[in-house]
Amino acid sequence: MNSEEIMSLKNNVIALILQSKSVEELEELRIKYLGRKGEINKLLQALPELDPNQRSSYGTAVNQAKNQIEMAINEKTKQSSTVKINQEFFDPTVPGKPAPTGALHPITKIFHEVEDIFGKFGFSIATGPEVEWDKINFQKLLLGPDHPSRDTQETYYFDEKKLLRVHTSSVQIRYLESHQPPIRIVVPGRVYRRDTIDVTHLPSFHQIEGLMVDDKTVLTDLLGILEHFAKQLFGAKRKVRFYGHHFPYTEPSLEIEVQMENGRWLEIMGCGMVHPQVLENCGINSKKFQGWAFGMGAERLAMLKYWIADIRSLYAGDVKFLNPNLC
Ligand code: DAH
């Protein structure tokens, strides 16, 4: 055998070693090639019969082949035995790999928190349809035909009578029409507006409406409960302020702002005493009963609470927002 033939033999043996499937198979290869009566020893035994000036290069080639085959067998034996150990040895006390878990979306969490805070005051949860009648979404809330939010720029209409609700205030009407006081509800839900998408606007977002109607319902209770709510949600040190506003369906009307870390104020909701005409429109005696109501933007609350700078990231499908450690 010349050096080239030795190299080709060695390559073939290494290929067999790499393809071997078990420790036993490797042991057979070791005996066949490296054993006392193995192929490599046979080659070495032929050394004395060779022409003296060929001996050195032949000897070197055989020894190199031997070393490389040995290395390949050792390496492969290590790998195969770890596989074998893993297959045969199961230790039930070894801690398992943590499984990735899902988490609630920030808006769902906001819904739950708001529901909990008002739940403690006896408010229950009500819902209503997203496809709504113009009458319920607008007219019964005293939003006449000339009101700016009725412009088709603002509202998605199906036809003259049917639309996608622009606020959860529509559920106030539905609930008042089907229940008599005392009423205490919060209404989480999705709303739609023809807004251009930017860092604070989306054409579809979420609101939480609140409504209380009883025979001794007063504005100061509304202010107290909303201040309590803001401190529960954002922390006791947060400052809130109220200032006069206008909504056709409340009289008086107010807006509430929360102070952010940087000192600036951000509006989080509108509220007020339910206009007596709204109660009458729904068959409730406004001489006997009064109510207050509020409507807040859930995305705004989430952005404030979880430090989310861009509203769009809430819906970008990025799992970072579903990370339980973040929210
Ligand atoms: N519907 C108003 C909006 O979408 C929010 C609102 C204001 C709701 C005052 C109310 C309310 O119930 O009393 O901007």
DSSP string covering 248-299, please? TTEEEEEEEEEE-TTS-EEEEEEEEEEPHHHHHHTT--TTT-EEEEEEEEHH
The binding-site residues of ligand 1, defined as CB within 6 angstroms of any ligand atom, are 167, 169, 209, 247, 250, 270-272, 293-295
Burial of residue 237 (CB within 10 Å: 0-12, 13-18, 19+) is exposed
Atom of ligand 1 nearest to the CA of 272: 13
Atom of ligand 1 nearest to the CA of 295: 8
Choose from 42-56, 91-105, 119-133, 232-246 the range with maximum mean pLDDT.
119-133
106-322, superfamily in CATH?
A: Bira Bifunctional Protein; Domain 2 (3.30.930.10)
117 to 38, 218, 305: CA distances (angstroms): 83, 20, 15
3 vs 180, higher pLDDT: 180
Burial of residue 158 (CB within 10 Å: 0-12, 13-18, 19+) is exposed
Mutate to test the pocket of ligand 1, among 271, 274, 292, 301 (most ligand atoms within 8 A of CB): 271
For 214-232, what is each residue's pLDDT tens digit? Answer: 999 999 999 999 999 999 9
pLDDT of residue 325: 57
Report how far ligand 1's centroid is from the alpha carbon of 296 (Å).
7
Residue closest via CA to ligand 1's atom 6 equals 295
104 vs 284, higher pLDDT: 284
Report how far ligand 1's centroid is from the alpha carbon of 270 (Å).
5
pLDDT of residue 327: 46
For 230-265, what is each residue's pLDDT tens digit? Answer: 999 999 988 899 999 999 999 999 999 988 778 888
